[in-house]
Chain A
Amino acid sequence: MKFDFIKNSGKFFTISAVLIGIILVMTVVVGPQLDIQFKGGSIVTYSYEGDLDIPAFESAVQELTVQDVSFQQSTDLNSGAKTIIVSMPGSQSLNSQQMEQLTEGVRTQFAANNPQTMSISNVDATIGKEFLAKCITAVALASVLMVIFVAFRFRKIGGLSAGIMAVIALMHDIIVVFGVFIIVPIPINDNFIAVILTILGYSLNDTIVIYDRIRENKRLMGAKSSVEDLVNTSINQSFRRSMNTSITTIMAMVVVTVVAWLYNVTSILSFSFPMILGLAAGTYSSICIAGPLWVRWQQRSLSRKAA
């Protein structure tokens, strides 16, 4: 069985273009939501016992802080403890004294419910912005190093063009991961950067296995065969491997996602769920975008040479 990836490449490009279009529109409409890690702010999680008078609790917290506070209730499946998450976005985060006052106040006013601080996350806006800039630099650095690496290793099959095509496929994957964070929505935090970088490495790995096959087949098939044929054969030969590796990797991450969801481990959930879709996008882009795109590039430069 042989599927013609090159002939169908128009369809793939359309699917991807539409997908990217939807994500961009959503981004403009919804707007990306930065985690307090990047924009600064405070989030406190209190556990409590018994029935908490939520409206009273909310107004008490409002009184103790001067900010726009939002509340979210949840249950920790592991300990069975009921929790309430207090978020204070805004550039003015609470310093430790104010935080202590808040906790003291809550504890005295709701002593019957025995509120305990489960977790605090408080980020200074300046440090947050700096951290965001550092993360973006990290992603840019990774992308540049990848192009250089691919260009060097695949110089025999037109390294630079191969590198650039691979990176276009990578951008595609980054946008998909970004889209997951926008649409779900998950606040963009350091997990986002970890997922992006991992997907960069994974997706490029996928692309490289295909390029490697092209490199080998170019030697075996000789100059007679056309670029389309060469790339198509290579994609088909490595197709089963691409799929099976994706299956095992995605399977591992699905298990993590399900367990993290069951046990309410949010810090992992916002990591593993986008990872699944990123892995899927990475496999898709390596097979359906990087190779076919490279064929178009080669055809164009060939026809330019002929003219």
Chain B
Amino acid sequence: MKRVGKPVFFIVLLLIVAITTLSFTGFSIQHGDIKTTYIKGANDIRWGIDIRGGVDVTFSPPEGQDATREEMAAAESIIKVRMVSQNITDYEVYTDYDKNRIIVRFPWKEGETEFNPEKAIRELGETALLTFREGYETDPVTGLYSGVTESTVILEGKDVESATVGTNQNSAGNQEVVVVLKLNGDGATKFEEATGRLAGTGNISIWMDQTMLSAPFVQSKIAGGEAVITGNFTVKEAKELADRINGGALPFQLQTDNYNSISPTLGQGAKDAMVRAGLIAFIAVAVFMIALYRLPGVIAMIGLTGQIGLVIASISGFFAPFSSFTLTLPGIAGIILSIGVGVDANIITAERIKEELRTGKTLDGALSAGYKRAFTAILDGNITVIIVAIILMGAFGPPKSFFATLLTPFFFMFGPSTAGNIYSFGYTLLMGVLFNFVMSIYASRLLLRSASRFGPLRNKWLYGGEK
């Protein structure tokens, strides 16, 4: 086997130290008030709601109520509007159309002091209050309707039959995307009256709860209960508006018998405790490894440090454009577990090197034989853990995530998992094994072979052999 040069040791070591440090600290430049993040660090990790505190709730239509696909989509859009209107952008919503369930997870807002999960859940599931109002006067401070817009309600949700996306030829002769509104008898009459009054002079604003969705200009009097809303929509925007209007016309209220909530104080303490546990575990394993395997033990811990750094990077997203991955308490436990399991490859190799030395091989011979012979055991052993991690992610992951889709043939009869904490465990386990492979096979080998070229480090005792 080719000799590994002395500088390699320092190059690999430097790379590991750099990646690990960066993965913890991140890299960002503060420019006045604007902070630009180039590399995300441990502080940018998105913590799961079991740590940050938050609510996890599964909504469904009332029992016996058969909801259509459109109705479920409408219900989902209501929830999204409400999340955004409360300034919660970090929510997750999954809709399962087969089982008619909507799973919502959201953390508590930062800086919030009053935690009332029962109220938050109730408000989220309430029937949306859809109103069509005259004009679009709003209060400049609160953004709420005011003046004539507050006092004059033209239509309510019950007046609307449906909203769909359609196309219409505009005055210039081009096709444009519009939202087609169908009103029922009562609504048609009220709408005809209002559009007659406002034609050519005013707008009608459309509101969900206290959020304005759109405020089209009334071009002419509309009779017959069918209206189109134009507004240079893209198909996606039109679909969104139609869904939201339908949400206000839902014939049922969302219900829930399935929800979890955690206060932020509880989770924060648990996280700090787990991080401490990780540190202690790392030190304990380091002492054990170095006492037992000497030089290969030191190398193993360098590799393990790099492994943890890479796992952290894979969670935070590292490079700013990459998306991050939610880390939960079981996820942290997974990282700690991979500290323990991670040295396995190094133990197998170090034991192998010892054996080879005992048969009388030279140091270089023992090193290359040790690594070569240990390889298949490490490979086969790691694959079993990969299989487990993939199943964990498939079974506990959100619908449409990669592994959940992959395992659909096995799990199709079950709905999406309503417990999201284990998914993160599967992820950290998988990342731990993959990066362990990189570190314990390639990086450690380079480090050890390069280190063994230094005179003082050629003592066989350092590798577990006789002096």
Contact = CB atoms under 8 A, between A and B. Distances in A.
Interface stretch (B27-35, B273-281, B454-462): B273-281
A54 B92 CA distance: 38
A214 B237 CA distance: 64
A127 B415 contact: yes
Nearest to A92: B257
A194 interface: yes
Given A208-B381, A212-B377, A245-B343, A100 B333 contact: no
A123 B277 contact: no
Contacts of A215: 376
Interface string A188-231: 00110110011011101110110011011000000000000000
B257 A216 contact: no
Given A78-B272, A96-B125, A119-B266, A201 B422 contact: no
Contacts of B223: none
Nearest to B279: A255
B384 A137 contact: no
State which size class the interface on B falls in: 35 or more
A116 interface: yes
A120 B377 CA distance: 45
Nearest to B328: A267
A141 B292 CA distance: 38
Contacts of A77: 269
A26 to B, nearest CB: 26
A151 to B, nearest CB: 12
Contacts of A100: 118-119, 122
A131 B418 contact: yes
Contact of A130 (B256, B373, B414): B414
A76 interface: yes
Contact of B339 (A208, A216, A252): A252
Contact of A202 (B125, B385, B396): B385
A133 B414 contact: yes
A232 interface: no
A256 B341 contact: no
Contacts of B273: 78, 259-260, 262-263, 265
B192 interface: no
A244 interface: yes
A229 to B, nearest CB: 18
A59 interface: no
Contacts of A190: 396, 419, 421-422
Interface in A34-55: 37, 40, 47
B388 A198 contact: yes
Contacts of B422: 190-191, 193-194
A267 B58 CA distance: 21
Interface in A255-289: 255-256, 258-260, 262-263, 265, 267-268, 271-272, 275
Interface stretch (A5-13, A142-150, A292-300): A142-150
Contact of A198 (B115, B259, B276, B429): B429
A146 B384 contact: yes
A271 B340 contact: no
B112 interface: no
A197 to B, nearest CB: 5
Contacts of B115: 116-117
A268 B58 contact: no
B263 interface: yes
A97 B122 contact: yes
Contacts of A18: none
A286 to B, nearest CB: 11
B380 A138 contact: no
B270 A247 contact: no
A256 B380 contact: no
Contact of A119 (B263, B269, B407, B418): B263
B399 interface: no
B351 A95 contact: no
Contacts of B355: 237
Interface string B338-380: 0111011001100100010000000000000000010011001
A146 B383 CA distance: 10
B93 interface: no
Contacts, number: 249
Contacts of A20: none
A208 B122 contact: no
A153 interface: yes
State the majority secondary structure of interface residues on A.
Answer: helix
Nearest to B411: A134
Interface in B419-450: 419, 421-422, 425, 429
B262 A124 contact: no
Nearest to B429: A198
Contact of B381 (A145, A209, A260): A209
Nearest to B382: A205
A249 interface: yes
B261 A119 contact: yes
Contacts of B292: 244
A137 B333 contact: no
B300 to A, nearest CB: 10
A166 to B, nearest CB: 10
B259 A265 contact: no
B215 interface: no
A138 B179 CA distance: 44
A137 B329 contact: no
B298 to A, nearest CB: 15
Interface stretch (B201-209, B243-251, B282-290): B282-290
B384 A208 contact: yes
Contacts of B373: 216
Contacts of A124: 58, 257-258
A134 B289 CA distance: 39
A122 B260 contact: yes
A250 interface: yes
Interface of A: 37, 40, 47, 76-79, 81, 93-97, 99-100, 103, 116-124, 127, 130-131, 133-135, 137-138, 141-142, 145-146, 149, 153, 190-191, 193-194, 197-198, 200-202, 204-206, 208-209, 212-213, 215-216, 237-238, 240-241, 244-245, 247-253, 255-256, 258-260, 262-263, 265, 267-268, 271-272, 275
Q: Which 3 A-B pairs have the closest CB atoms?
A: A78-B269, A252-B340, A249-B340
Interface of B: 50, 57-58, 101, 115-119, 121-122, 125, 255-263, 265-266, 268-270, 272-274, 276-277, 280-281, 284-285, 288-289, 292, 329-330, 333, 336-337, 339-341, 343-344, 347-348, 351, 355, 373, 376-377, 380-385, 387-389, 391-392, 394-396, 407, 410-411, 414-415, 417-419, 421-422, 425, 429
Given A96-B121, A138-B411, 9 more contacts: A96-B125, A123-B257, A145-B391, A191-B330, A191-B422, A205-B341, A255-B284, A267-B330, A271-B333
21 contacts: A78-B265, A78-B269, A97-B122, A120-B261, A127-B257, A127-B418, A131-B414, A138-B411, A141-B410, A153-B380, A215-B376, A245-B348, A248-B344, A249-B337, A252-B337, A253-B336, A255-B336, A258-B277, A263-B269, A268-B270, A268-B329
